[in-house]
Structure 1
Amino acid sequence: MKICDNFEQLSTFFDILKDSDDFYFVQIIQRKKDGIELPSYTSGARTIRSFYFFNKKHFLEQKEYIKELCRNNKARAYFWINPRNTVDVACESIKQFAELIQSGNTKQGIAVYDRATGSSRSAKYDKLWIVDLDSKDIEYKNTVISLIEECRPEGNKIKYIIPTINGYHLITSKFDKHLFQQKLAIKQLDNLDIHNDNPTLLYYEHN
């Protein structure tokens, strides 16, 4: 059995929150890729539950419950790395509800708040990216980190290194993607997926 438990490391994200309306978004998701049989109407994944955490204490209090939900549903817990704000999410929800009314699809309204949360990064914080490494090779990881640090702008760009089942998520500040791709090509390395506002892995048990 492989277990990825990133609760302690990701709990430090809460230290930067500036406002009582700011929060982090966590979702427990079943994936067809993990061998789960899902209804045909899903797009390869199904949300079991969503959480909205405004502080570290509440986040850690729910740790065992989240783990239990993951085990019972053979699901993964994901942590969106960029903070959200309730005002931003409310405004985006209103916009999405209006679009549903106009298109006659109000049955989909039950999922609006989660969708709005997923698409509403708070602009008060410097944006974080995820560089997805699908390998546990330490030398390869260190090479990629060095190439990122060589890119513009100057300064430390690697903020966190989050283990996944098959590799790592490098949580970074923004950098010159084009230059990074050039450096990968020079090293004869494949291009890597860079996610501008996605979740990282919080918890998963893999048999």
Structure 2
Amino acid sequence: MSVATAACHAASLTDWQNLLAVIWDFLSLSLFSLGGGNTLLNEYHYLAVDKYCWLSSQQFAEIYAIAEAAPGPSSMIVGLLGMGAAYREGPLWGVLSGVLAEIAILLPSTSLMVVAALSWNRFKESPFRHAFERALGPITLGVLFAVGLKILRISDHDTPAYAVSLVVCGLMLRTKISPLWFMAFAALLGGLGLVNR
């Protein structure tokens, strides 16, 4: 835990002004999350752990794991972060905060994507469209690589965990083994106490 995180005090969300500030943070990030919830993982971590001190890095990693394991969009992490932000204030406040955070992150980006999808076919033959679509590939890979590094840094805390992460990464790149097998193997190692996060 960093010095900044250790000195951090969780922002109270019983004050509507603070809740609205949190909602505004997610609204302002919404248009940058067009690639999915994972594209803003670094910013989510900054808000939840460093700026507002709702969660520790370990709790953030656990919430990320829950959001990724559950069916549905990866932006589900925002609702969980919203709940994590206000759980100290009671269950109803936690649910309200989670729902409002999720609406704030989804509404602007979803609206923009609906408008874009409805008009995108007009540019079917445009060289701009083809160049734009080709340019998104490397950008997406870069974002996913950055997300992977962030999760590795906040969740792996011992040498065996780093080793397991590197082996899984290598196998994922070189084989066609389903990621579910890797998840099951990692869960078994954790359950046996061989790897601690």
Taking structure 2 as the reference length, what is the TM-score of the superposition?
0.24
Taking structure 1 as the reference length, what is the TM-score of the superposition?
0.23
RCO (CA 8 Å, sep 6+): is it higher in 1 or 2?
1
Higher helix share: 2
